[in-house]
Amino acid sequence: MLRAALFDFGDTLFRRAGEARAIVELGAEMDCPIDPDAAEAIWRRIHERAKSPEEIARARDLSPEAHRREWTRLFSMADVLVPGMGRALYDRETDPEKWVPYPDTVECLERLAARDVPVAVVSDTGWDIRSVFSTRGLDRFVRAWVLSYEHEAVKPAAGLFEAACRELGVPPDESLMVGDNPTTDGGAVAAGVPTLILPQVAPGAPRGLSCVERLLFGD
Ligand SMILES: [Mg+2]
């Protein structure tokens, strides 16, 4: 029986506000109109590159310094549109207000809380994402935080998922990991944690988190 839930953060519970529109908005602030299609193309290239094993191997989530350096480099792919865009995108990346929960995130967390299912967030991050949750009053739903830069390890390291289960006091085989990236979030399997990898959804669509409730509660 599954009785605890471990969640990834980015692209699982929260997404970046506006996504590619961020480039258009920042361009307007910088007095440089940017074609939305060009912004979309660059945005996709940045995030496809960011998810590649080569980029993940650069250990950007082991310290705040590495995070700033590596993400600014990735975002600087957008400097072809406007010089300085990379740095502006990095500042936005670490602004808690610029991350939004998916339409079904709050409902999912509320339903787990209503059934006393303890929740952990297991995230590869180089900055303190607790502020994203607290900004929206959602930190009360999270009992344990396992953030890569505080543990000096990144996913798929099994130790991160084991630490989350330990902090929740629930054995790995009675916990469920929920994420979006098979390479990183899939590491939970090596820790003995049943794992759900959610496919990407269209912008604005629910994340598909009702699956989590069905797996835990069977309804
Ligand atoms: Mg993710």
Distance (Å, whole) CA 41 – CA 53? 21
How close is the Cα of 51 to the center of ligand 1, in Å?
9
Pairing of strands 14-16, 99-101: antiparallel
User: What is the three-class DSSP state of 49?
Assistant: helix
Ligand 1 centroid–CA 114 distance in Å is: 25
pLDDT tens-digit readout, 15-50: 999 889 999 999 999 999 999 999 999 999 999 999
Are residues 176 and 206 both part of a single domain?
Answer: yes
Same domain for 42 and 93: yes
What was the pLDDT predicted at 28?
96
CATH no. for residue 182?
Answer: 3.40.50.1000
pLDDT > 90 fraction of the chain, expressed in percent and rounded: 94
Residue that terminates a domain, selected from 38, 70, 97: 97
Domain end among 69, 97, 125: 97
Looking at residue 85, its amino acid is: M
Q: At what angle do helices 210-217 and 105-114 cross, to 10 degrees?
A: 20
What tens digit of pLDDT does each residue of 159-211 get?
A: 999 999 999 999 999 999 999 999 899 999 999 999 999 999 998 999 999 99
Residues 83-87 have a mean pLDDT of: 96
Q: Does 125 lie in the same domain as 45?
A: no
Q: Is residue 63 helix, strand or coil?
A: coil
Q: Are residues 74 and 117 in the same domain?
A: no
Q: How far is the CA of 125 from the centre of ligand 1 (A)?
A: 10
| Sequence-separated (6 or more) residues with CB below 8 Å from residue 112 | 5, 119, 141, 212, 213, 216
Ligand 1 center from residue 31 Cα (angstroms): 32
Pair 89, 107 in one domain? no
> Residue 16: its pLDDT value, please?
93
Tens of pLDDT, residue by residue over 108-166, are 999 999 999 999 999 999 999 999 999 999 999 999 999 999 999 999 999 999 999 99
- How far does residue 96's CA lie from ligand 1's centre (Å)? 16
Residue 18's pLDDT is: 87
Domain count, the chain: 2
Q: Does residue 219 register a pLDDT over 80?
A: no
- Mean pLDDT, rounded, of the chain: 96
Same structural domain, 54 and 109: no
| Residues with a beta carbon under 5 angstroms from ion ligand 1 | 8, 10-11, 180
